[in-house]
Amino acid sequence: MLRKMKGLISLALILFISALLIAGCGRNTIPTGENRKKISVIVKMKDASFFNVVRMGAEAAGKEFDVHVEFAGPDNEKDIEGQIKLVEEAVSGQYNAIVLAAGDYNKLAGAAEKAVNQNIPVIVIDSPLNSDRIKGFIGTDNVDAGSKLAETLIKRVGTECRIAVMNFMKGAASSDLREKGVFDTLNKYPDVHVVSNMYCNSDESIAFELTKKAINDNRDLDAIVCTNAQSSVGVARAIDTEKLSGKIKIIGLDSTPEEISYVEKGVIEALVIQNPFNMGYLGVRYAIDAINNKSVPKLTNTGLTIIDKDNMYLPENEKLVFPFTD
Amino acid sequence: MKHKTLSLFRKIKLNSIQSVIALSFTSVIIFSMLIISFALYTMFSRNAEERAASSTQQIMNQVNINLEAYLKGMVQISDTIGTNFEGDTAESKINISNLLEVTSKIRKDIVTMAVYKESGDMIISYPSGILNKNISVEEEDWFKSSFKNSIEYFFQPPHVQRIFEGRRPWVVSLCKANSSYTDSEKPENYLIMVDMNFSVIEQLCKDVTFGKTGYIYIIDSSGRIIYHPQQQLIYTGLKNENINDAVNRSPGSYFDKFQGKQRIMTVKNISYAGWKMVGISYVDELEENKRSFERYLLLIIIIGVIFEIGASIFISRKVSQPIKRLESQMKLVESGNFSIQLDVKGEDEVKKLSKSFNLMVMRIKQLMDEVILQQEEKRKSEFKALQAQINPHFLYNTLDSIIWMNENGKYEGVTTMVGALARFFRVSISKGKEFIRVGDEIEHAKSYLIIQNVRYKDRFEFFIEAEPDVLRYKTIKLILQPIIENAIYHGINKLQEKGEITIRVYTKEKRIIFSVSDNGYGISPSALKDILDKEAQSEHSFGVGLKNVNERIKLCYGNEYGIEITSELDVGTTVNITIPLIDD
């Protein structure tokens, strides 16, 4: 009897102590952050400067809201299959949400919807995706970008001028929308004459050649509007080599280092630049909201900034134009 | 419902041993647990607050020390260049160029070092490069203000350095204007610029966190951001920081409510550059630690209480269960079942208790058996005594004597005899009563003596002396007659001369003594010894009546009472009967 009781008491003690230990261990795992939410940010191309700024924004949000942000992307922007695979890996890797800059409007939709089916919310940034099941889109409004280009042109050159437009890809959504924005705005100014509307297929050398030809054809050209980085650089190079800087003003888009140096040189009059940092930041922030079942705006415009020689070194613009510290 | 709970309460029985033990155990342990938990909690939370505050301070001090070391390094480099620069001469240029090269090898964080003339022309730089033709430094603010105040070190907030073509590093610049002390007549002023890689500052501050999301930012004296983890968000308006508040604060810690969040703002000055470092930590994150401790403590208390309640129920059951079993078995004894033997398992004390109880029950049973036996024996001897009275021998002898007297015309004698016989039997029967008055007993003896005296033709004389007081007391009946019978048959009968029987009844020390003396033959000591011995002798021999009387008295009154015989051969025998003095 006595022995039985002793056994019972020691059993109870063991249970009690182990309960304490378990409780203690459970506590110990909290600060290691293993149960933090994981968000996968998948971009079109891992080492592109634009997406590195997206990454900075995403990581800033990760730090602010205490979530783990994993950044991924194919080595090549055209590697759509690679990006689809990355999305699938994020789904099987039990990420809580995916922030996606889709390399293709249609081809990524299936993978993204697979994630949604697994209760993983998808936030799309930079380029829209052909799916109505995503939580929200954060990026530049392409029509707005086009009209900003046109407005800047009017401001810098005046309401009476002859201009050319350098688009980058006929049929691509972003190209067509920007073109639409440019022309919608310019149509309000009857004295602005578009003498040439060109497409460079996102190729600097094509843009260069097309520009040279346009200059030759139209000696009285006042300005050229370019709707992406490659067209801006190609046009600027042509103007520079023809020593026409100042005479033919260039209104470009985005801020690659080459474009920036052309701005400093005075070849490019002004640049309309996007805000990739905010895309990354808001992408992660809305992803967290989506995880927590809070409502996320369907469409968020990260806005555009107009940069020129005089304001690019102002503190508020310096970070946008030169996002890297090293 | 109410009724149910009431009956449940009744069932629990608040005053049972089990509930007393369980309740007192539980309350003592819960009370002490609460006290310990409270003490622990108070200690921990105070500790946690202190630790959070001091760790914030420590981290900020550390960052500050590192930052100041970098800034001081810049100042020292600038000073070294200043003391070694001896004007825009070829010799001096070589010296300085060597110095700059060495310095940049030691200090990897230094991006550019340059010396400018007041005109804006660069005298020397390390590393060298193609100058950016798009800017003219002499028109820049930092250049002009440095010359305006040539005593101060002029720290330029982080910016993109663009003096060279193709290089756009983020730097923090230190500018210092000096006047040349070369021996030329016209001393020319010059400016030393040292650029430090901004990522040094960023790296220092980026990974600093207080709690989960607390951070550090740095501003200059006019409130411009030097470093902020969310600098870009602030510029684009996605985020706000109360920089204006921080600018005016002197070093110390402040509570600050910003955008609905309770924060602790710790301000520190950074010397050399006149900057301010501001640490932001969120109160609810510090509290999170406290809350998780609260949860842990609560868990322990709940586990402890559950365990403890279980243990006290177990222990109290262990103690009270055998007692309860004991109680239920005792109830059986109470209701008359004496054949029970308790077999209660339990603690030592309970075992002992049940053992003693068993012994007690056994003893009671024994005593009860004894009483029953005694009662039986008493009845038997009484019956025998009665039987002796109606001895047919005695009766027909007596009747013979009466007939004889009648035939001889002794009618007086007949009357006496018949009267005596009648009294004798009346007392013998006494309506079946066991106890009669002493007076009646004496009357009985007297009747017997009268009858026997007639039968033995006056062969003896008898005397009865009784204290008048003693007559009213009670005695068991038929105790004198057997003694007298003995005296006559075994004492007087054998005498040649006339016998004498004396009966005295008196009280002595709360006892009644019936004393029957004869002057008869006497009893031999060996016979005397056998007379009262229970075992010896068969029924019809000498002393049977005596023995019966003795047993009846002892059964009735106890062993201290009974018959005592003193006898001497040829002198006589005295039999003393002692019974207690019992009032009516």
**pLDDT string in tens for chain A (326-residue length):** 455 556 666 666 666 666 665 555 544 444 444 578 999 999 988 887 788 889 999 998 998 888 999 999 998 877 889 999 999 999 998 899 999 998 888 889 999 999 999 999 999 998 888 888 999 999 988 999 999 999 999 999 999 999 999 998 887 778 889 999 999 999 999 999 999 999 998 889 999 999 999 999 998 999 999 998 889 999 999 999 999 988 999 999 988 888 988 998 889 999 999 989 999 999 999 999 999 999 999 999 988 999 998 898 888 888 888 886 55
Is residue B1 predicted with pLDDT exceeding 70? no
Q: What is the pLDDT of residue B526?
A: 77
Distance from CA of B33 to the nearest CA of A (A): 15
Looking at the partner chain, which of B134, B198, B230 has a beta carbon nearest the beta carbon of A64? B230
Beta-carbon separation of A315 and B225 below 8 A: yes
Q: Which positions ≥6 away from B386 have C-beta within 8 Å? A: B428, B478
Does domain B17-308 sit in CATH 3.30.450.20? Answer: yes
The residue written with tokens 């989506």 in the block is: A290
Q: How far apart are CA A308 and CA A270, in angstroms?
A: 5
pLDDT computed for residue A236 by the predictor:
95
pLDDT band, residue B156 (cuts 50/70/90)? confident
Considering only CA atoms, give the Rg of chain B. 66
- Report whether pLDDT(B76) > 80: yes
Contacts of B168 in chain A (CB under 8 A): 257, 260, 322
- Sign of the alpha-carbon dihedral angle for B364, B367, B373, B376: negative
* Confidence bin at B185 (pLDDT 50/70/90): low
What pLDDT is stored for residue B349 in this prediction? 77
> What pLDDT band is residue B14 in, cutting at 50, 70 and 90?
low
Convert the pLDDT of each residue in B528-573 to its tens digit.
777 766 555 544 455 777 888 888 888 888 888 988 888 888 888 8
pLDDT of residue B12: 58
**Contact call for residues B143 and B137 (beta carbons, < 8 A):** yes
State residue B542's pLDDT score. Answer: 58
Q: Which residue of B has its CA nearest to A279?
A: B233
Partners of A265 on chain B (C-beta within 8 Å) are 134
Q: How far apart are CA B352 and CA B355, in angstroms?
A: 5
Mean pLDDT, residues B326-335: 80
Task: Please give the CATH topology (third level) of the domain spanning A38-140+276-303.
Answer: Rossmann fold (3.40.50)
Please state whether beta strands B215-219 and B275-282 pair in parallel, antiparallel, or not at all (unpaired). antiparallel
CA B173 to each of CA A21, B4, B105, B221, B417: distance values in angstroms, whole numbers, following the listed order: 55, 86, 18, 16, 164
Average pLDDT over residues B394-416: 87
At B25 the pLDDT is: 83
How many Cβ atoms from other residues are within 10 Å of residue B412's Cβ?
9
Tell me the C-alpha distance between B117 and B188, whole Å: 8
pLDDT band at B364; cut points 50, 70, 90: confident
Query: Do B527 and B535 form a contact (C-beta atoms < 8 A)?
Result: no
The pLDDT value given to residue A31:
43
Tell me, yes or no, if the pTM score tops 0.90. Answer: no
Q: Is A106 on the interface with B (CB under 8 A)?
A: no
Per-residue pLDDT, A100: 93
Extents of the domains making up chain A? 38-140+276-303, 142-273
Chain A residues 34-93 with a CB less than 8 Å from chain B:
57, 60, 63-66
Name the percent of chain B lying above pLDDT 90: 14
CATH class name, domain A142-273: alpha beta
Selecting from A30, A65, A322 the residue whose C-beta is nearest the C-beta of B160 gives A322
Q: Span B463-491, mean pLDDT?
A: 88
Q: How far is B150 from chain A (nearest CA, A)?
A: 25
- Residues in A touching B173 (Cβ below 8 Å): none
A168: nearest Cα among A92, A85, A226, A240:
A226
At residue A280, the pLDDT reads 94
Q: Do domains A38-140+276-303 and A142-273 have the same CATH topology?
A: yes
pLDDT over 90 at B319, yes or no: no
pLDDT at B135 over 90: no
Q: Which of B407, B409, B454, B447 is nearest to B427 (CA)?
A: B447
Interface pTM (ipTM) of the complex?
0.77
> What is the rounded distance in angstroms from the CA atom of residue B278 to the CA atom of residue B216?
6
CATH 3.30.450.20 domain extents, chain B = 17-308
- CATH fold, domain B390-580, is Heat Shock Protein 90 (3.30.565)
- In chain B, CATH 3.30.565.10 sits at 390-580
Looking at the predicted structure, is the pLDDT value of residue B584 above 80? no
Residue A161 confidence (pLDDT):
92
The position carrying tokens 């949000």 is A61
CA A61 from centre of chain: 15
